[in-house]
Amino acid sequence: MIRIFDTLENIQILMSAELRKHFEEIVPLTDEEFEYVNSFFKFKKLKKHQYLIQENEQVTHIYFVIKGLLKASFIDQEGKEHIAQFAMENWWVSDFNSFYNNMPSVMTIDCLEDVELVYISKENLEKICAENHKIEHFFRLKNSFGYVALQQRILSLLTTNAKERFEQFSHQYPQLLQRISKTIIASYLGVSRETLSRISNKL
């Protein structure tokens, strides 16, 4: 029993260290500041194929990925899956429209690998941002980065062909090529599995 608690305690220490490292990529925090912020985060583990968020849920948390890989997608009226984004280590993920606007989620987020996350509620996020301008600055920048990435993805889908999109994906996320099947990559790029195979074989 002691060994189990030691293991859980060690995991929480590692999670906290990763979270602090992530914050301090943008803002320096004193030990006191980080301990206060960290007190609002909780830890979660999920297995491959489990859901983090399902469609029509009311989403009240955002999640920071410590370990593993997830995909966020939605299903259209014809039953076709459209992948909006992936989330791997050091990334934040949620259905942000549901989180910020108190609406039912349209996204489904599921695990492509076993996943370890820390997460915080909307209420607590607003609290720590109101109390500490450095934390508010951190999340404002993260939101801005997210808007830029979303715009780039939309423009890529509108203005590039399948080969160019695959080249962009390979350049931007080389580590994902070994972690995600070609079927899933094809769905993310908006092309067929056969088209992606032809492109990747030529390259």
AA letter at 68 = G
Q: Scanning the structure block, which residue is given the tokens 């695959």?
A: 166
pTM of the model: 0.89
The architecture CATH gives domain 2-122: Sandwich (2.60)
How many residues are listed for the chain in this entry?
A: 203
Q: How far is CA 78 from the centre of its chain?
A: 26
Q: What is the pLDDT of residues 10-66, one digit of tens each?
A: 667 778 899 999 999 999 999 999 999 999 999 999 999 999 999 999 999 999 999
For the chain, which residues make up each domain, given as ranges? 2-122
**Burial of 181: CB neighbours in 10 Å, binned 0-12, 13-18, 19+:** exposed
Q: And the tokens for 129?
A: 């941002």
Q: What is the pLDDT of residues 70-81, one digit of tens each?
A: 999 998 888 888
**Burial of 87: CB neighbours in 10 Å, binned 0-12, 13-18, 19+:** buried
User: CB of 114 within 8 A of CB of 69?
Assistant: no
HSE-up of residue 143 (Cα within 13 Å, Cβ side) = 11
Q: What is the pLDDT of residues 138-165, one digit of tens each?
A: 999 999 998 898 898 889 889 999 999 9
